[in-house]
Chains A and B, each alone.
Chain A
Amino acid sequence: MTDFDDSNNIIHMENICKRFYIGTENESEILHHISLDISRGEFTSIVGESGSGKSTLMNIIGLLDHPTEGSYELMGVDVLHMRDNDLSRIRNRQIGFVFQTYNLIPRMSALKNVEMPMMYAGIDQRTRTERAKELLTMVGMGEKLRNPPDTLSGGQKQRVAIARALANDPAVILADEPTGALDSKTGHLVMDIFHRLHDEQGITIVLITHSPSLAEETGRILTLVDGEFVDERRGRNAH
């Protein structure tokens, strides 16, 4: 259905504005003319205080929300004029979400959770299970395939969630405060996984965080203040 361009430009956003309560007296603009380019293999962090608009931006990047103005091309394809089902497909194949609260489906084993995006992609059961096992082994969860989420620790849950995000080999991993619910030691272990994925497999990652110290580990830091990028630089501790 969609011809994705194989070029290095994964995300190309121009003049993205997002306004809420349009036409009411509460109307407010959360994002002001944001432009953003992310290339293949970049590990970018978007840093901002709460209220800076980073969640809104993430929702727009993740195709969960529509900007009020602007253009957005994902791998060279205009994704702002698509129907719901097409957007679902693109989210499914091209974007891997990692949430702060893991968002694993309860009552389903780690394996089934990782299989889920592949199920929606229509991949057959055997391939699904094989790939899910592979991914879980890769994030060090090979021993806990059958465990349901409530038997796993926070760090383990997040590793399962990362494996799930990778399931359909997406163009970009969108991680929203992935260590926000973890203690610092476990948080570091999770960050190590992201670094490994980035360093060893060249996976494109966008990390959304309020923590400047985490951001310093990434190759590129974009600082968002009141809906505008105010600074762009290389992380001090970038690998």
Chain B
Amino acid sequence: MLIENIKLAFASLSANKLRTFLTMLGIIIGIASVIAIMTVGNSQTEENARQMSMFGVNTIEVYMWLSGEVIAQDEEEYLAKMPEFKPEMMQQMVDQFGDRIEAVAVRCYLGSGQAGIEGQDITKVYANCNIMGVNPGYFTVYSSEASLTDGQLFSSKDPANDYSCIVSDRLVNNLFGGDIKKAIGSKINISINGEASLSYTILGVYLMQGMGGGIDAASEKDISTTVYIPYANAQALTTDPYSKKISNFSLAAKSSDDVIGLTEELQAFFTSLLPEDSGTQVACYNNLSWIEDVNANMRRQTMSITMIGAIALLVGGIGVMNIMTVSITERTKEIGTRKALGAPNGAIRMQFITEAIIICLLGGVLGMLLGVAAGYIVCHFVQGIPVAMSLESVLVSFLFSFGIGVFFGFYPANKAAKMDPIEALRYE
């Protein structure tokens, strides 16, 4: 009976090909827009996750600040009131959580400037750079951003006076024509914020990743990359009193499964160290929850736009209902005949619901192909991100078109099933 109904449905649909196609078009466009939106949204979400994972999913960032208005007579008093992670707090943290922490990273931004080879004209051969003081742990915590490929990390016993640096592969390209061997051990002059230049020895080279260093320059040559110097050295050099205090640092958890737990425990730990009513606050963030937040937000946006796409689908469904009503009116005599020959109401209802379902499923499949193609085009050519087909969108659209067939087919099919056979037989 089912097979019979399906055959029958195909026969009557192919008897009116243009009309069937036009009806299907509504479903095609509806499903296509939903699939396209979901594909683009999904790809975008995955791309976000991919980009954000470059920050390191194991990373936890810890901030300390003074909440509320700070009342101070002068700068000095204000500065004195600014909270900081004192060395003993850090030590206590390492004592307590050391076995769960891979590395701790602190940084001190010194400024931007230009680097040139010592003994050469800096106006001819130069590289734009930002100068940042970091501890060796920084390269572990931010390995995705700055991962040492050649040379070594800072290891001086007297870091405050250690004038060595770690530079990007691009800086090596600009200054040494890409010759890393020649670069390591060479001295470069760096002028920071337009002041007199300081001489640094290149200790190591890191590979600059996409997100590494503000790609805002007009040409490849002018791209500014980060030059890392020892943290203590930067602390000694900085003229900014705020930079001398550690108000934030990062750390990498040993296991990504521990990130959420460790974040919570650190939060509790630092909160307990702070004197009450001081107005000082500590917050620990991890990228994992941030990624989750961003993804959840992305999914919400995708869902909202999908809803708009679903309106197209609704219109398509109404089109199916409309054409089924017309088709049933046209076939009144056939329905009467079938009833006279003994078709129960249920069989008539099934016949027309099957027909509606088949229109919708055919439209659904075509719409799916069109939607995937549109999603691919948008992702690939417009946004330039890898396409992440969502299998669930395929499944959802399949079920959805089936559901539309049932929902919008039911009313006309029921109308057909309830026709009075005598009236129907008399219909011309």
A residues lining the B interface (CB < 8 Å): 59, 62, 64-65, 84-85, 88-93, 97, 99, 103, 105-108, 116-117, 119-122, 164, 168
Contacts and interface: CB of A to CB of B under 8 A. Distances in A.
A84 B420 CA distance: 11
A155 B95 CA distance: 103
Interface footprint category on B:
20 to 34
B87 interface: no
Given A64-B425, A105-B338, A168-B342, 16 more contacts: A64-B421, A84-B345, A85-B344, A88-B345, A89-B342, A91-B339, A92-B342, A93-B342, A97-B340, A97-B341, A99-B337, A103-B334, A119-B1, A120-B343, A120-B344, A121-B342
A185 to B, nearest CB: 26
B333 interface: yes
Contact of B341 (A65, A92, A106): A92
Contact of B337 (A89, A105, A122): A105
Given A99-B337, A107-B12, A117 B422 contact: no
Nearest to A105: B334
A93 B344 CA distance: 12
A103 B4 CA distance: 19
B144 to A, nearest CB: 65
B342 A103 contact: no
B11 interface: yes
Nearest to B344: A88
B391 interface: no
Contacts, number: 65
Nearest to A167: B341
B15 interface: yes
A4 to B, nearest CB: 15
28 contacts: A64-B339, A64-B425, A84-B345, A85-B345, A85-B346, A88-B339, A88-B342, A88-B345, A91-B339, A91-B340, A92-B343, A97-B340, A97-B341, A99-B337, A103-B337, A103-B340, A103-B425, A106-B15, A108-B8, A108-B11, A117-B342, A119-B1, A120-B338, A120-B342, A120-B347, A121-B342, A122-B1, A168-B342
Given A99-B337, A107-B11, A120-B347, A64 B422 contact: yes
Interface of B: 1, 4, 8, 11-12, 15, 333-334, 336-347, 421-422, 425
Contacts of A92: 341-343
Contacts of A62: 340
B419 to A, nearest CB: 12
A22 B344 CA distance: 28
Contacts of B343: 88, 92, 120
Contacts of B12: 107
A106 B342 CA distance: 18
Contacts of B425: 64, 99, 103
Contact of B15 (A107, A116, A164, A168): A107
A92 B337 CA distance: 11
Contacts of A64: 339-340, 421-422, 425
Contacts of A117: 341-342
A85 B342 CA distance: 9
B350 to A, nearest CB: 11
A112 to B, nearest CB: 9
Contacts of A122: 1
B334 A91 contact: no
A92 B347 CA distance: 13
A65 B426 CA distance: 13
A13 to B, nearest CB: 18
B13 to A, nearest CB: 10
Contact of B344 (A84, A99, A168): A84
Nearest to B428: A101
Given A88-B343, A97-B341, A105-B337, A59 B422 contact: yes
A87 to B, nearest CB: 9
A195 to B, nearest CB: 24
B8 to A, nearest CB: 8
Contacts of B4: 119
